[in-house]
Amino acid sequence: MKSLFTLAIVAVAVLFAAPAFAQEAAASTLHNYSVIAAGLAIGIAALGTGIGQGNAVNGATQGIARNPGAYGNIFTAMIVGLALIESLCIYSLVVSLIILFVKW
């Protein structure tokens, strides 16, 4: 019986403590959403750039296999293309860092 009474007192204390901390939850919610948004942004960008780089290297290796004499031209174009593809992920990283560390 005594433990039931103690449990009831703790439950009432928890119920009355929640409104006292309600104001802080709004600011915390915005931060939580910004962390989720930053994670999704960099995750989707990494997925897209990974697929794009895979397709680019696939096409380059197939082109080199068909015409080994064009290795220099294909390799140069592939490296430039990979740099442009990777820059999209770097831009997403910059945006994610801005979302995380700029005070709104």
Domain spans in the chain, listed from the N-terminal domain onward = 28-101
Q: What percent of the chain has pLDDT over 90?
A: 64
Per-residue model confidence as pLDDT tens digits over 44-67: 999 999 999 999 999 999 999 999
Q: What is the mean pLDDT of the chain?
A: 87
Cβ-Cβ contacts under 8 Å for 82 (sequence gap 6 or more): 53, 56, 57
Token pair, residue 13, equals 């204390």
pTM over 0.75: no
CATH superfamily of 28-101: F1F0 ATP synthase subunit C (1.20.20.10)
